[in-house]
Structure 1
């Protein structure tokens, strides 16, 4: 899980065409549909239900958008570098967001939350099924009774057929990257090696260095899952499997779904410590 160190500094640059506002709007629809509503301030219990935890929040873009919609947000991420950027955004916006540097496999909260979300394929960084199950058990433990967990994941079909052994490159004025992708069918593990070039002046190097660029590399590993695998893990962790949605069509999941949203519901705490 030791990724998003140097890459954190240019993450938002390369993600600038990501439709975060559209994603946030859809998450708000799902939160409303599945019973989490922004509370009246006078209702103490409702205040707890209004808390939404963003697991794998990264640089906090989605966290900010949900905070602007009225939810009390907690962002959790395992990368200090990503969280530092999220904190800068919080300072600029003035939003009262709590950020925690924690591993999602071991995260801790001081109370319960009405909903927990985990999107942008963060769950795919969990490479073992028991890591997924442990995370789901923690989610179940920290959800308010009847609370919902909304997460997405990339499918084996996407890694094997759509991404495969591809090389992707993108050139910007101040930074560029080369993404070399490898998928192992036997293990279901997807490896992508990132090589990034960043203009040195952006990182505090003196102006005399002119067109100097700094090069760094990161290797990321993700695992593809099927819907059947995820459904089984959700239920094994003691949660109720509520629905699955194709992330692209927002309709039914099919054999060529590349990314899938799953909605799971808190279903009692008796399974958490088994």
Structure 2
């Protein structure tokens, strides 16, 4: 899962079109609908803390967990500027540990797609179920097989900004539903000089279907509630690229059942 090292420090520059306010509004609306207007929330795969900060601003007591120390460094810089009381922990979502339970867990921006095996998704879901209050909510999104296979698979994307630019090359492997993307980033070293530092990173993500996710939720002990297209906020279709799901804690599960997916 090693990813987001050097790229972490320019992540927000290139992701400035990510609709955090729209997604944050969706999360808060659903939380409030279910009666969760305060208390402790976990942002799993929190990255640079954009959603964590937003939910903290809405009055929730936030914990942010991420695997990348570099991403968390950026998140903690934001915390220092905002003055918000957010606890950040560097942990792998497949084996994270908390000191107690939380009212809800959120996991957005396709963090779950970095888990390349169904067993890893199930392990993560089981931990989410374990650390949720009775009846607590799990709100998350994921990129679909359709998105990787049809929309971005084998595509090359490039952007040029004033002080940095990147080339993003995608390579889709159909059998395993794995999307490899190779990032080449150029960052200006000093404002007054035309010197750029080049670095590269390789990331892997796997696409999932809604049916697979429903089955894994069931095996983990979580109860699937509903899903919608995260981009249109309408019903999920065969061409949905990102799906937003809601699940609920309903008891803890101790043993693993056969895969059967």
Q: Judge same fold: TM > 0.5, yes or no.
A: yes
Cα 1:272–1:150 change in 2 (3 A) is farther
Partner of 1:232: 215
Give the secondary-structure state (helix, strand or coil) at the position aligned to 1:268.
coil
Match of 1:258 in 2: 241
Q: Which of 170, 175, 178 is matched with 1:189 structurally?
A: 178
The C-alpha deviation readout for 1:1-21, integer Å capped at 9, x for no partner, is 110000001001111122212
User: What is aligned with 1:218?
Assistant: 201
CA shift for structure 1 position 273? 5.0
Q: Is 1:99 aligned with 2:82?
A: no
1:169-206 residue CA offsets vs partner (Å, 9 max, x unmatched): 0001100000000111111000000000000116xxxx
Greater than 6 Å deviation, 4+ residue runs:
none
1:129 aligns with 2:118: yes
Alignment of 1:248 with 2:231, yes or no, is: yes
Tell me if 1:53 matches 2:36: no
> How many angstroms does 1:167 deviate by?
0.3
Secondary structure of residue in 2 paired with 1:251: coil
TM-score by length of 2: 0.96
Structure 1 match to 2:251:
268
Query: Normalising to structure 1: TM-score of the pair?
Result: 0.91
Structure label with greater radius of gyration: 1
Distance (Å, rounded) in 2 between the aligned partners of 1:273 and 1:146: 20
Shift of 1:163: 0.7
Distance, in Å, in 2 between the alignment partners of 1:215 and 1:132 is 34
Report what 1:15 is aligned to. 15
Please list every run of 5 or more consecutive structure 1 residues that lacks an aligned counterpart in the other structure: 39-49
Is residue 54 of structure 2 the alignment partner of residue 65 of structure 1?
A: yes
* RMSD after superposition: 1.0
Query: Which stretch of the first structure deviates more once superposed, 114-123 or 239-248?
Result: 239-248
Q: Is the 8 A contact 1:138 1:272 kept in 2?
A: no
Unaligned runs of 5+ in 2: 257-261
Q: Deviations over 1:33-71 (max 9, x none)?
A: 233222xxxxxxxxxxx1110000000011001000000
Instruction: Quote the Cα distance in structure 1 between the aligned partners of 2:104 and 2:92.
Output: 18
Partner of 1:42: none
